[in-house]
Chain A
C-alpha cells in the first residue's frame, strides 16, 4: 500500500509542477504587454490618441475546413478560395456596388463587332517575389487555363477565345469566336505568375502551398489543420493594407467558432440565422461585436422533375406553389433573416424583376387548381386521389444541411393540409449528386444555387443543359426562354440585357418549374475594434485594405 501512497504523491507533484509552469508563463505574457505599453516612446504618443488610420494588428477569422490548394484555378473548395482572394488579383473586379471596374487592367476597349477586348495593364504591379507583372503573365494565364495538363474546372469561358495577342508589355488583345457578353467578367480570373509556372507541372508546383500572387496579402505561415497566416504586402499597388496580418483558424464546428468569438480568439465569423437572432443578445457579444447583415448571394428553391408525371403539369406545379407557406419558412426556420425570392436574382440587384406571377400562400386556391386537373378526395381517407391513385410523392434533399431538411418538414406538413401524402428522404451529398441529380432520379428536391454577378442563366435554364451532367437537371424546356438566354449572352448593352432577363423571369415564373423560396441574409459578426467598415452590396470585405485599429485598441503585436 505504501507504494501506492508514493505513486499518488508523485502524481500530485508532477501535476502541481505542470500547473505552476502554466500559470508562471501566463503571468509572464501579461506583464510583457504592460512593459511594452509603458515603454512607448514619446513621439509615438501621438499615434495613441490620433484617429488617423494606423498600421498594425491582425484580423483573426475562421474557416470551416482546411484549404486544399492555394492555386485557385485548380482548387474547387470555398476555404481555398477564401484565402486566395487576398493573394491574387484578376484583370477586372467588382467594386462595392457590384460594377465591373479595372483591377490589374487600368482600362479596356471593346471592338465594334464586340468580339475583341483590348486590355491596358497597370504598369506598377509586382508579384510578391518582386518580379513585375506584364502582358506575358496574362498570356500565360490564358494558356494555363486551356492546357489539358492543368487540372482546372474553370476553363469553359476561356475555350471560347479564338486568339490572345500580346501587343506590348502592358497591352493584350483577346479575340472571341462568338459574341459572349460575360467575357469581360470572366477576366476576373486569378492571374498566374508566368515566371514561376511556365513549363512546369502545376500539380507539383510549390505554389500550391506557397502562393506568389499580386494581391494585398502574402502567405506568412501555414500550420497544417490549425491556422493560416497572411502578412500585408507592403508593395501592393493600391496601398499597403493597414492590418498587418490576417489569420484563418480552421474550426470545423460552428458552435465552437461562436465560443471562440465570444472568447475573443477570433474577430469575425458568419453567424447562422439562429446564432444571429437567439444567441447574440448577451452583453459579452453586444459590447465587443457588431452584426452586419446583407443579402447573401444565393437562393433556396424547391425543384420539380419535369420529366416525370405528374410534375410535367403546369397547373399542378402552380397549385403546389400556392400551397407553399414561404413566409412560415422564412419566419420559422430563418428567423426572418431572409427575403422572399420570386426568381433567380437577388432583390437588390438591377437584374431583379419583382413584377412576375407571385405565388402567395393560398391553400384554397391550391385545392381548387388541383380539383381542376382531377385531384379530389373521393374515398374520404383525407388524401387527394386521381384515377383511384393517392396523390403522394417524395421530397429529396442532401444530408448535412439542416435548413433544407427543416424546409422539407414544413412542406410535408403544408402539403398534408391540402391532402397530399409527402415522405422525406435525405441522402448523403455525393450519392445525392451522382445517383439522384445526375441520373434524374427524383420527383421534388429542396436545393440552392449561388447567384453569380453576371446575369447569364444559360447553364441552369437552357434546354440543352438538361442532358448528362448539365445543371438544368429538372429539364426545363421553353423555346422562348432558350432564345432569350442566347440573346442575353450576345448583348453587351446593360439596359437591353436588363429587358431580356426581366422577360426571362416572367416566363419562368409563369411556368413555375421551381418554387423560389428565399434569399438569405449573411450575418457577419465583426469585432468593434476595426474601423472604416463600409457595408455595401458587395458585402463587407471589399475595402478590407482600408480597415484599421486604433493604437490603443490593437490586440496583436508582431516583430517587424
Chain B
C-alpha cells in the first residue's frame, strides 16, 4: 500500500507539468491582455505607459519563453507577483482566501454527507412511502431553485424581516473588540446562512446518489441471503448495504474537490465572502496571468491529492480492492 502511494505521488509531477503547460497556453489564447484592461479607455493613460507595462510583465516575449520564465520561478516554488497594481505575491493572495473557501466548503461538505447519506439510504429502504416522496420533492425543489435567488430571499427574511442573522460578510465591524466567545459567535452567525444554503443545494445530488446505489445494493443476492439467515433489518441496512452503497459516493467526493477550491463566484459575490471563486473570476477578467496560474496549480494539486485519497478510501471500504 505504501509503495502504491509513493508511486502515485511521483507520477503526480509529470501530470502537474502537463496541466501547467495546457493551462498556460489556453490562458494566453483568450484575447485581450492585462495592459489593455488597465488602460480601460482612460484619457489620462499616457502613450509611454503601455510600453512600460508590456515590458514589465514580459508580455513582449514569445509565449513559450513566458512559460519558461514562469516555470523557472515555479521550480523554486515562486508563483511570482500579481499583475494587478498591488503587485502582491500570488501565494499571499491565495493564502488570504484559500482557508476561507476551503473552510466553508469543508463544513458544508461534512454537513451535506451527514444529512444526505441517511436521507438517501432511508428513502431507498422505505421507497415509495410518504417519507420517500416528501424527501424527493424537497430535494428536487432544492435542485431546481437558483441558489442566488434563494440566498437573496433568505437574506431578506432572516436578515431584515426577522433580523436574526447578519446579511453578508464574515465578521462585524467591531470584531476586534469582541471577546473570544463573542468572535466565535460572530463568525458562526455570519456563516450560518451561506452554509445552510450551500447544504440545501448540495443535498440533492448526494441523497439521490445514495438512494440509487442503496436500491441497487438492496436488490443483490447477498442481501437476500442475509435476510434468509434471519439477520436483523438494521444490521443488513447499516452494516452490509451501506458500505457497498458508499463506493459511488466516495467517487463523487473525490470529484468534488475542485469545487471546494473554485467554489461559486455568484455565491461568494452575493454573500460578499472574500473567497477563491471571486479571486479567480477577477483574475481571469483582469488577465492577471500569474494569479490565474497560481490558482490553477494549487487547484490541480489538491484535486490530484483528493483523487489519491478517494482511491485509498476505496480500499478501506471495499476489501476486495487492493493495490500493490
Contact = CB atoms under 8 A, between A and B. Distances in A.
A111 interface: no
Contacts of B30: 430-431
Nearest to B155: A259
Contacts of B178: 25
A156 B152 CA distance: 45
Given A22-B188, A262-B160, A431-B32, A226 B170 contact: yes
B185 A25 contact: yes
Contacts of B14: none
Interface stretch (B35-43, B206-214, B216-224): B35-43
A200 to B, nearest CB: 14
Contacts of A249: 169, 272
Contacts of A556: 173
A60 B174 CA distance: 13
Contact of B85 (A75, A225, A459): A75
Contact of A225 (B31, B37, B86, B274): B274
A22 B189 contact: yes
Contacts of B298: none
B181 A21 contact: yes
A539 B168 CA distance: 28
A249 B182 CA distance: 21
Contacts of A434: 31-33, 36
B23 interface: no
Which of B49, B97, B152, B177 is the most central at the interface, judged by chain A CB atoms within 10 Å of its CB? B49
Nearest to B235: A1
Contact of B272 (A21, A75, A252): A252
Nearest to B95: A224
Contacts of A430: 30-33, 36-37, 285-287
Q: Is the interface of B mostly helix, strand, loop or mixed?
A: helix
Nearest to B173: A247
A36 interface: no
Interface string B154-167: 01100110010011
Interface string A538-560: 00000000000000000010010
Contacts of A227: 169, 173
B41 A433 contact: yes
Nearest to A67: B86
Interface residues on A, range: 35 or more
Interface residues on B, range: 35 or more
B46 A155 contact: yes
Nearest to B46: A156
B3 interface: no
Given A21-B184, A225-B97, A435-B31, A153 B42 contact: yes
Given A256-B152, A430-B285, A265 B42 contact: no
Contacts of A438: 36
Contact of B37 (A226, A251, A265, A433): A433
A9 interface: no
A154 interface: yes
A499 interface: no
A80 B85 CA distance: 10
A252 B269 contact: yes
A68 B156 CA distance: 30
Contacts of B182: 25, 28-29
Interface of B: 30-33, 36-50, 52-53, 56, 84-87, 96-97, 100, 152, 155-156, 159-160, 163, 166-171, 173, 175-178, 181-182, 184-186, 188-189, 234, 268-275, 278, 282, 285-287
5 contacts: A22-B185, A229-B173, A247-B173, A430-B31, A430-B32
Given A225-B275, A433-B36, 4 more contacts: A225-B96, A252-B268, A265-B166, A471-B41
